[in-house]
Amino acid sequence: MRYNLSRLMSKAWSLYRQAAKRATITFGEALSTAWKWLKAQAANTVKVKAAAEAAGYADMVYHTWAGWKALGRQVIHTSEAVFKVEVADPTTRKGSRIQSYFTYDQTQPAPMA
């Protein structure tokens, strides 16, 4: 399997800069965590697709709250996630986190700033 080394180094530097403010990790530790994060992404994609299929949303467009924000939309505040998935995240203490997914019809255009 080929990895995007540019993405790996960007993540490592991002982790290091965040932790350097608190003087908690070395760059080597940040690089190691970034490798774990990159490897977990493939497994997480499979988990999300399986959860979407099980919930009946495999053929629809769905994203996380941050994903919709990056696309210029915002999730309507009264909306509940159509499905949730526990994904691996080596950057957290627990090693995983819950991601909530929303469909297009649960969003609205983001207001212009």
pLDDT digits (tens, 9 = 90+) for 73-82: 999 999 999 9
Is the sign of the CA dihedral 22, 25, 31, 34 positive or negative?
Answer: negative
Q: Does residue 106 register a pLDDT over 90?
A: yes
Instruction: Categorize the per-residue pLDDT at 111 as very low, low, confident or very high, splitting at 50, 70 and 90.
Output: confident
Average pLDDT for residues 76-97, to the nearest whole number?
Answer: 91
Q: What is the pTM of this model?
A: 0.74
Nearest to 85 by CA among 76, 97, 93, 77: 97
Place of tokens 């965040």: 18
Residues 83 and 55 sit within 8 Å (Cβ to Cβ) = yes
Average pLDDT for residues 95-100, to the nearest whole number?
Answer: 93
- Cα dihedral 4/7/68/55 (nearest 10): 50
Residues 43 and 88 sit within 8 Å (Cβ to Cβ) = yes
Q: Does residue 113 register a pLDDT over 70?
A: no
Tell me the C-alpha distance between 88 and 90, whole Å: 6
Q: Report residue 37 as tokens.
A: 């994060």
